[in-house]
Amino acid sequence: MNTLSAEVLCPVERKRTLGRRLPAAMECLAKVARCKTGEPIYCQEDPAHFWYRIVTGAARSCVLLADGRRQIVDFLMPGDLFGVGEGQAHLFSVEAIIAETTVARYPRRRVEVLAESDVEVGRQLRETAFNSIMRLQQRMLLLARTRAIEKVGSFLIEMADRSSPATENTVALPMSRYDIADYLAIAVETVSRALTQLRQRGAIVLDSSRVVRIIDRGALQEGCTVRH
């Protein structure tokens, strides 16, 4: 009975699905573009004429709030499909966060038409959407954590699970502390302090400020796991 609950925390199954390419019929509609660091892939309120997929690199999906805060809605990694099903205009901005980020662009209308004629494409899109829903639900549980140290701990585990299995315990964070703070909805200083505290507890080692080695996975999840 724990097989599924394990999936909640260690989304290996999901990773496989997200990482793989889309059906050939859809891939041949794609055009690939290259983005510099900080360069927007699209902006909030731009007409949503395309769907996108990260090929290499990483990006952040974010929104500016009225109080001046920036909320990062998601970090996008290779294989992630985004900008999908958003009505007439994009609800968020998406910007590359590391150099050499390449993005595949799919014309929305043509994909929608394709989905109605090609059963396989339709099924794949539904599956992708369902996976997004699961990831969003996990993110909601993360944001719902009350303590900053639990948020940061869960974040590190999320990043570890999303990176390649080979380097599961050494995470190279592509984003700054500011990005992490806006993702977790806490202050930058609090992120820094939480990392320091996790280091002092022996849960992690900071090889550099952007490279984290996870020593004690259990300590990171402390109080963050689902009860059985």
Partner DNA sequence: CGATCGTTTGAGGTTCCTCAACAAGTGTGG
Partner DNA sequence: CCACACTTGTTGAGGAACCTCAAACGATCG
User: CB under 8 Å to 56, separation ≥6 — which residues?
Assistant: 78, 100, 101, 102
130 binds DNA (CB under 7 A): no
Binding site for a second copy (CB under 8 A): 1, 3-5, 7-8, 13, 44-45, 63-69, 71, 73, 84-89, 91-92, 115-117, 119, 122-123, 125-127, 129-134, 136-137, 139-141, 143-146, 185, 223-228
Rule CB under 7 A: which of 189-228 touch DNA?
189-193, 195-196, 206, 209-210
Binding-site partner at residue 190 among DNA, a second copy, none, CB < 5 to 8 Å by type: DNA
User: What whole-number distance in Å separates Cα of residue 59 and Cα of residue 57?
Assistant: 7
Binding-site partner at residue 25 among DNA, a second copy, none, CB < 5 to 8 Å by type: none
Site mask, DNA, residues 89-128, x = CB under 7 A?
----------------------------------------
Note every long-range contact of 211-216, with CB atoms under 8 Å and residues 24 or more positions apart, other chains counting. Answer: 211/170, 211/171, 211/172, 211/173, 212/156, 212/170, 212/171, 212/173, 213/169, 213/170, 213/171, 214/156, 214/157, 214/160, 214/168, 214/169, 214/170, 214/171, 215/169
Contact of 138 with 8, CB cutoff 8 Å? yes
Q: In angstroms, give the least distance from the CB of 5 to a second copy.
A: 6
User: What whole-number distance in Å separates Cα of residue 123 and Cα of residue 127?
Assistant: 6
Binding window for DNA (CB under 7 A); candidates: 15-23, 28-36, 184-192, 213-221 = 184-192
Q: In angstroms, give the least distance from the CB of 195 to a second copy.
A: 20
> Which chain residues interact with DNA by CB under 7 A?
146-149, 176-178, 185-193, 195-196, 206, 209-210
